[in-house]
Amino acid sequence: MITWDDIVARGRDGNLTPPRRDDRTEAEWKAVLDPATFEVTRHAATERPFSSDMCSLFTPGRYGCACCGTVLFDASEKFESGTGWPSFTQPLEDAVVAYHVDRTHGMVRVETVCNVCDAHLGHVFPDGPPPTGLRYCMNAVALSKVADDH
């Protein structure tokens, strides 16, 4: 299980090797993504809070990167954070999410990106529920529900 100390160390020192890479150009991503997904995932924008039904969706399944399809989270790790964005306690596999220190907006946070295609997903915070104590606060447009059972 990943810890906050692991995340901080990776954001500072480097991330795990991804399971594969998808290095399409910006033009290639723009051609296949809708405008909102493109802005969030490729330009690190943030969708409005409570703008997606995904926040209240708790059916079994898995969530993948909306860009490359890499499976990132399992619904069993999803919880209601009250923030207006889908939240998870941990990624499905350790090497699918990468971490970068984010010093924008006058604060220090840890950005999460898909480790396969570098899509901006959201941020992770150390204020989640047990057992990890982590809150992966994701943009819904950066995720897609990829399976209803597992």
Domain of 117?
4-147
Tell me the pLDDT tens digit for each residue of 77-131.
999 999 999 999 999 999 999 999 877 778 778 999 999 999 999 999 999 999 9
**68 an active-site residue?**
no
Cis check: omega of the bond before 131, within 30 degrees of 0 = yes
Confidence bin at 148 (pLDDT 50/70/90): low
Q: What domain count does the chain have? A: 1
**3-class secondary structure, 87:** strand
Q: What is the pTM assigned to this prediction? A: 0.94
| CATH number of the domain within which 85 lies | 2.170.150.20
Q: Are 142 and 41 in contact (CB under 8 A)?
A: yes
Catalytic residue among 55, 67, 114, 137: 137
E strands, 8-138, are 62-65, 71-74, 78-79, 87-88, 97-102, 109-114, 120-125, 135-138
